[in-house]
Amino acid sequence: MLMDDRSKCETRYNLHSLSLIRNSALRRFFKNTTTLKWWTIPALLLMVLSLLGGMIWRNFDRLETMRAYVIYAHRIQAVAADIQSALTDYFLADNRALQEQQLARLTEEIFGLASNDHHVAPETPLKLQDLRVAITELTASKATHDLQEPQLLKALSITNAIMDGETLNREVMLEDISHSTRTEIILVFATVLGLLALMGLFFRYRILSPLNDLRQLLLRLAKEDYSPIDTGGIDRVLLPTFASYNVMVRHLAELEDTKREYAQSLEAEVRLATQALMEQQAGLSRNEKLAAVGELAAGIAHELRNPLAGIQMSCVNLQHEFSDPDKIQRMSLVIDELTRMAKLLSELLDLSKHTPAPVLEFDVPDLIKDLIRLLRYQIPASTKLSLECPPELRCRLPESRIRQCLLNLVLNGAEAIGAEGGTIAIKVEAPKDEWFSILVMDDGPGFSDAMLENGIRPFSTGKTAGTGLGLAMVQRFVRELGGQLTLANQQPLGAVVLLRLPITTA
């Protein structure tokens, strides 16, 4: 069993080796055809055409020869018919004698056959000579009626023998012509098929094979493989093409390196710009939160300053009623501290005064698209952002404050969704009556019932790490513009924040 398997393996190996040797030999042969002249293939075609032309001319010559043979056979038949006619007239005549005109015509026809000889049978000339002798004797014996009958029968017999011999030899010649023509046709077809096979192999190894190699090289380029190829075994005809390919891939490799370096540099610049922008947005958010704290502190200061003023006046009146210097001094200290506290509260009110952001004309869809590109770096990849808006919506509002409000709302939605991911949709409705709306929707848990019932309050938040100032800042900005902020929940899950804003602000 092992020996059988080994012999099978050796047989397959030998067959495979023979196939490789044959293919390599063919490839070497067709590579070596570069030493042939450029006119080799046209010369082969001309040879085949010459062969076909020679065959056609030869067959045409054969047809002309056969035509002459057929005409000659018809003349023999005409002579035989005239002899039969003369014999018939001889038997029908009262005096049983041939007419001189018939004898003259027969003599002329038979001598014409002898002078214009296109016979096929080799014995035809001898028989024609016998026929001439018989006709000559018939002419000489025209006075002797008894000799005319056997001479006519002899001439008719010789004529029939000539016709039979010509017919038999003509059939043999036609068979030879048919056989040789068939052989020539087979030879021409074999030559044409051989030439086509040779051209096919030439086309395969000189054109298709290099084209297939070129296709493989193009596939390497598609895979960004810019390594040059070895041109040592390349055909001399195709060597310039593959040398140009090596030059091209070197240029492509250099361009790819330049592009990669530029992409890395651009990516670093984008990363730095994004980081700076994110820090700027974080700073704006901190400023907004500080502004909200300042506003809260201003409210507290305003509420404290009035009672402090009353307490200060009461202390001044009490100081006037005291006569004890020690009490008067103590009261003076209290009044001084109350004055200092009132001054601090006034300064706090002055510091909490809000400086409005500059009003600019901008396109709302462009602003939101830029914001979405920035938010891609701040929210998890599992959270998807979508935008639905009209193609253009121009407004005149504080652009930075609008951007900050939308940033706070989207980040709030992303925090509500969490790391599991979800969808945050921003929808801009077309303006109506100089007002337009922006909806920010997410599929998170939604707002709490307490927030929906009591509204937005500073420092009131449902998040463990939240400050409760994000929505408060958005609400304050919207109110400053004279707009409206509405909170709602969507079914089955999700929060909706509706900003109704004017197209332009005073």
pLDDT at 194: 81
Q: Which band of pLDDT confidence, cut at 50, 70 and 90, is reported for residue 72?
A: confident
Least confident of 58-62, 205-209, 216-220: 205-209
Residue 355 is given by DSSP the state P
Q: How many CB atoms lie within 10 A of CB 23?
A: 11
> Over 90: is that where the pLDDT of 188 sits?
no
CATH class of the domain comprising 41-201: mainly alpha
pLDDT at 366: 92
pLDDT at 299: 66
Question: How many CA atoms lie less than 13 Å away from 442 in the CB half-sphere?
Answer: 23
Q: Which band of pLDDT confidence, cut at 50, 70 and 90, is reported for residue 1?
A: very low
CA distances from 444 to 311, 404, 473, 494 (A): 51, 21, 22, 5
Beta-strand pair 422-432/383-388: parallel
Backbone angles phi, psi at 24, to 5 degrees: -65, -35
Beta-strand pair 495-502/484-489: antiparallel
> Over 80: is that where the pLDDT of 130 sits?
no
Q: Which band of pLDDT confidence, cut at 50, 70 and 90, is reported for residue 490?
A: confident
- pLDDT tens sequence across 96-110: 556 666 677 777 777
Q: Given the structure tokens 């070895």, which residue do they identify? A: 230
0.75 cut: is pTM over it? no
Q: Which band of pLDDT confidence, cut at 50, 70 and 90, is reported for residue 36?
A: very low
Choose from 227-231, 279-283, 342-346 the range with maximum mean pLDDT. Answer: 227-231
What DSSP string describes 235-298?
-TTTHHHHHHHHHHHHHHHHHHHHHHHHHHHHHHHHHHHHHHHHHHHHHHHHHHHHHHHHHHHH
CA distances from 12 to 1, 25, 142, 438 (A): 17, 20, 95, 77
Mean pLDDT of 85-91: 71
> Over 90: is that where the pLDDT of 427 sits?
yes
Contact residues for 114 (Cβ-Cβ < 8 A; gap 6+): 125, 128, 129, 132
Rounded-to-integer distance, Cα 362 and Cα 403, Å: 11
Mean pLDDT of 492-504: 90
Rounded-to-integer distance, Cα 396 and Cα 502, Å: 9
Residue 52, judged by CB atoms within 10 A of its CB (0-12, 13-18, 19+), counts as: middle
Choose from 111-125, 304-318, 427-441, 451-465 the range with maximum mean pLDDT. Answer: 427-441
User: 26 or 463: which carries more pLDDT confidence?
Assistant: 463
74: tokens are 């018809």
Residue 74, judged by CB atoms within 10 A of its CB (0-12, 13-18, 19+), counts as: exposed
CB contact at 8 A, 398 and 356: yes
Rounded-to-integer distance, Cα 268 and Cα 255, Å: 20
pLDDT at 437: 93
34: tokens are 């570069």
pLDDT at 112: 72
Mean pLDDT of 409-437: 88
Q: Which H or E run contains 351?
A: helix 325-351
> Over 50: is that where the pLDDT of 19 sits?
no
pLDDT at 438: 92
Closest CA to 484 of 435, 434, 451: 435
Least confident of 87-91, 177-181, 183-187, 365-369: 87-91
> Over 60: is that where the pLDDT of 2 sits?
no
* Long-range CB pairs of 456-460, under 8 A, 24+ apart, other chains included: 456/485, 456/487, 458/292, 458/296, 459/296
Mean pLDDT of 112-134: 74
> Over 90: is that where the pLDDT of 207 sits?
no
CA dihedral 321, 326, 331, 337 (to 10 degrees): 160
Q: Within 34-144, where are the H helices? A: 40-92, 100-115, 124-140
Q: Which residues pair with 384 in a beta bridge?
A: 423
CB contact at 8 A, 226 and 253: yes
CB contact at 8 A, 120 and 62: no
pLDDT at 21: 40
- pLDDT tens sequence across 390-400: 988 999 998 88
N-term to C-term CA, the chain: 102
> Over 80: is that where the pLDDT of 345 sits?
no
Rounded-to-integer distance, Cα 331 and Cα 333, Å: 5
Rounded-to-integer distance, Cα 254 and Cα 252, Å: 5
Percent of the chain with pLDDT over 70: 73
> Over 50: is that where the pLDDT of 13 sits?
no
Choose from 66-70, 322-326, 392-396 the range with maximum mean pLDDT. Answer: 392-396
> Over 60: is that where the pLDDT of 281 sits?
yes
Mean pLDDT of 33-62: 69
For the domain covering 360-502, report its CATH number.
Answer: 3.30.565.10
Coil, helix or strand for 398?
A: coil
- pLDDT tens sequence across 231-277: 766 667 677 777 888 888 888 888 888 888 888 888 888 777 777 77
pLDDT at 16: 39
Choose from 118-122, 256-260, 299-303 the range with maximum mean pLDDT. Answer: 256-260
Average of per-residue pLDDT values in the chain = 75
Q: Which band of pLDDT confidence, cut at 50, 70 and 90, is reported for residue 461?
A: low
pLDDT at 388: 92
Contact residues for 338 (Cβ-Cβ < 8 A; gap 6+): 308, 311, 312, 315
Rounded-to-integer distance, Cα 409 and Cα 441, Å: 9
Choose from 61-65, 70-74, 345-349, 385-389 the range with maximum mean pLDDT. Answer: 385-389
> Over 60: is that where the pLDDT of 428 sits?
yes
Rounded-to-integer distance, Cα 21 and Cα 27, Å: 10
Closest CA to 382 of 410, 442, 425, 422: 422
421: left (phi over 0), alpha (psi -120 to 50) or beta: left
Q: Which band of pLDDT confidence, cut at 50, 70 and 90, is reported for residue 505?
A: confident
- pLDDT tens sequence across 146-168: 666 777 777 778 878 877 877 88
Contact residues for 135 (Cβ-Cβ < 8 A; gap 6+): 103, 106, 107, 110, 151, 155
